Structure 1
């Protein structure tokens, strides 16, 4: 069972990348967007039917998979000895990224612009923060396992740095009314975030079990001396 979990990040990345480019292709074919005028934002491609339906489904399923990846990663870091509060901070940034992704898919920019922008903020900004926190944790805790080849860490650092630069460029270019350049940055950021989630396949490849801590239920009788910890191997 645990070996199959290493495929989940790859499936997530492929699902999201193929899905948004399929939405783009349909929008171009049915002339919803006109490439002769400017390069469109992802949200504009997914604002009109029929591709808006596909856009919502792609992002909703993708958000569900992001939640699963974040929860598995949380338990993996916990079993590696990461303290509760930084691990929970990482988890919640990932969950809010998933929530923002779902909001972006369900509240199209042409119908609910302000709600859509809130979702985009959660998806892009907190999504980027999620991976920066992962990198900071691996740098702060020297004994933390680092599965995969030695170049995986520098690759993640490069992708996170590029993602941050592109997010700032996207905002600045949009304020300068350079919409095509801003849209190109948005597409690049989305692809980088999808690929960063896909790289979790390297970390999940070493999964072979997890610790389940059973806490005693509150009752009138005295509780046991300590929680019971079980090692589950499937």
Structure 2
């Protein structure tokens, strides 16, 4: 198995775990300040919006670090996925659109993490308005691209998995947005749960790229070095060296000898 699979797997592991740890510490510090005891704060009965994670230092610093690291990994995964498609198949509109939406999503994630809602509400919501829709568009494009390039049953199964995750992400995002604009505490609580489910599904979707990244090699980086232009692979290059451009003259040379 290629070492490249660590990159997509590490994104959901680090981001989901890190945000939950920050949220738990923040919530417990607030409860301790209210003298309610150090009981577990982040339960299904008390799930705040992700925007409320790390609103106070030092948790706010860790939350920004997690979002910034996550956005960098989204950019890296999107770029490697783009190059891998070109290397194994060929470039297409879906591949280019997937790269673009992934990078736009990463830019929105940076804004969400570095502009806290309590101190820069406008910029925070602008970042969320950029990251959430483009993340849905990204997973939909990648699902369609998976079906387009699929040739084996395993690849079709990966496409089915991504399609299902895309539908779930879209449903959770719609419910989160609908409940978020309501004034009811119960609906606001439901909005927070759906928002967490949406982000977890999106992060796990990035983890599914481990299926393709297992076939990656140094040739994938060469595609990026050539500016995204498909070229000969290492096997083609070895075959060319073995045969050579004048390989078809070899029978005449033997006959002459």
> TM-score, normalization: structure 1?
0.83
State the partner residue of 2:55.
47
1:110-136 alpha-carbon deviations (Å, 9 max, x no partner): 111111112112222111210100112
Per-residue deviation, 1:144: 3.7
1:203 is aligned, of 212, 222, 227, to 212
State the partner residue of 1:96.
104
The 3-state SS of whatever aligns with 1:162 is helix
State the partner residue of 2:248.
none
Contact 1:6 1:202 in 2 (8 A): yes
Higher-Rg structure is 2
> TM-score, normalization: structure 2?
0.76
Distance 1:184 1:172 in 2: 13
State the partner residue of 1:160.
166
Distance 2:2 2:55 in 1: 38
Higher strand share: 1
The 3-state SS of whatever aligns with 1:86 is helix
Contact 2:23 2:42 in 1 (8 A): no
1:10 and 2:9 matched: yes
Higher helix share: 2
Alignment of 1:140-219 (within 5 A): 141=148, 143-145=149-151, 148=154, 151-177=157-183, 178-208=187-217, 209-210=219-220, 211-212=222-223, 214=226
The 3-state SS of whatever aligns with 2:118 is coil
Q: Which runs of 5+ in 1 are unaligned?
A: 216-226
Deviates more, 1:27-36 or 1:196-205: 27-36
1:112/1:205 Cα in 2 relative to 1: closer, same or farther (>3 Å)? Answer: same
State the partner residue of 1:66.
74
2:144 is aligned, of 123, 130, 136, to 136
Distance 1:128 1:60 in 2: 19
Q: Which runs of 5+ in 2 are unaligned?
A: 35-40, 236-257
Per-residue deviation, 1:153: 2.4
Per-residue deviation, 1:231: 3.4
The 3-state SS of whatever aligns with 1:30 is helix
